[in-house]
Amino acid sequence: MKKFLTLILIAALCLTLMLAVNAENADTSAFTVAAPSGAPALALAALAAENPENYNFVAAETIAAEFSSAQADFIIAPLNAGARLYSLGKSTYKLGGVVAWGNLFFASQKENFTLSDINGATLTLFGENTINASIALYALKENGIEPGNVEYLAGAANTQSLLLTDPAAIVLTAEPALTAARMKNDAIQSYSLNELYKNATGNDGFAQAALFIKAETIEKAPEAVDAFLKLAAESASKCTEDPQAVAEAAVQLEILPNVKVALTALPNCAIRFVAAQEAREQIETTANIDLAQYGGAVPADDFYYGEK
């Protein structure tokens, strides 16, 4: 009996090793990826530079259409958008992992600007009724900061423009727009939303953008999907381990305008890959700040790809 159990254990180990080898050798070259041109796309920039014809970088406001067209095997998009569409039955894309953890900053040209200057003042955010706006207001409130008035513009490019043209304005903007603005006006000072969020929740950044996998792709090529996720994690890690290579790739792919902007902005983009199941607790913390942005509830169990 003991010998029989030993044989079973050996067989199980061999099977595990064989599956690992198969995943390692799986062909990922045919996978297609859609991503918004901007900070979240930096997570896959190093990988995309090796096979650019399979990557489609689109305007951020059009990324939701990629879910309905279901053409790409993988999509990088705001986490809440992918979760909401999945909960509504309008997407089959499951969560592969979180790739961006918050690139938002409060900024102003005001002399000696500090976060306390927001108290009682007009604060301009971008994207009314969005998860970014909800998180910004939540983090401020939890840190005892209350703006007197909140106004909204369409996007980070709009608040960047206001930041540059109005010396008294206090805005929420995002990298790399903040870096581009600072290169035009070095009087601009900024404070990371992530720092306030960490004070409020204990989490190092919020679940902002993610990598999604088409369900059909998972069914057809599970080993290749696992291999691609490993490559995605390695690519994301290069944002801190080899920023020069990522910056050059970002310019080559026209994700960012030049290497100087990319290198300066990269440390503030909070790019790191965390697999879906590992990120679940932090995702639910983010979602509970404004469940409406997630379709009214935290994501269901089957939204998360991978073993628990």
- Whether the CB-CB separation of 301 and 308 falls below 8 Å is answered with no
Q: Which of 139, 168, 201 is where one domain is finished?
A: 201
Q: Which two tokens stand for residue 234?
A: 């390695």
Which helix (H) or strand (E) segment is 235 a member of?
helix 222-241
The distance from CA 16 to its chain's CA centroid, rounded to whole angstroms, is: 32
Q: In this predicted model, what pLDDT tens digit does every residue of 188-199 receive, in sequence order?
A: 999 999 999 999
Q: Are residues 60 and 197 in the same domain?
A: no
Looking at the domain assignment, is residue 2 inside a domain?
Answer: no
How would residue 25 be classed by pLDDT, with cut points 50, 70 and 90?
Answer: low
Q: How far from 49 is each of 46, 56, 257, CA to CA, in Å?
A: 5, 12, 15
Q: Which of 201, 229, 263 is where one domain is finished?
A: 201
The model carries a pTM of 0.90
Looking at the domain assignment, is residue 229 inside a domain?
Answer: yes
- Whether the CB-CB separation of 214 and 132 falls below 8 Å is answered with no
Domain that holds residue 85: 8-25+35-101+207-294
Q: Which of 201, 225, 249 is where one domain is finished?
A: 201
Of 60, 268, 61, 243, the residue nearest 178 (C-alpha): 268
Q: Are residues 162 and 212 in the same domain?
A: no
Looking at the domain assignment, is residue 1 inside a domain?
Answer: no
CATH no. for residue 174?
3.40.190.10
3-state secondary structure 74-133: EEEEEHHHHHHHHHCCCCCCEEEEEEECCCEEEEECCCCCCHHHHECCEEEEECCCCHHH
Average pLDDT over residues 289-303: 97
Q: Which two tokens stand for residue 27?
A: 């062909």
**Percent of the chain's residues with pLDDT above 90:** 87
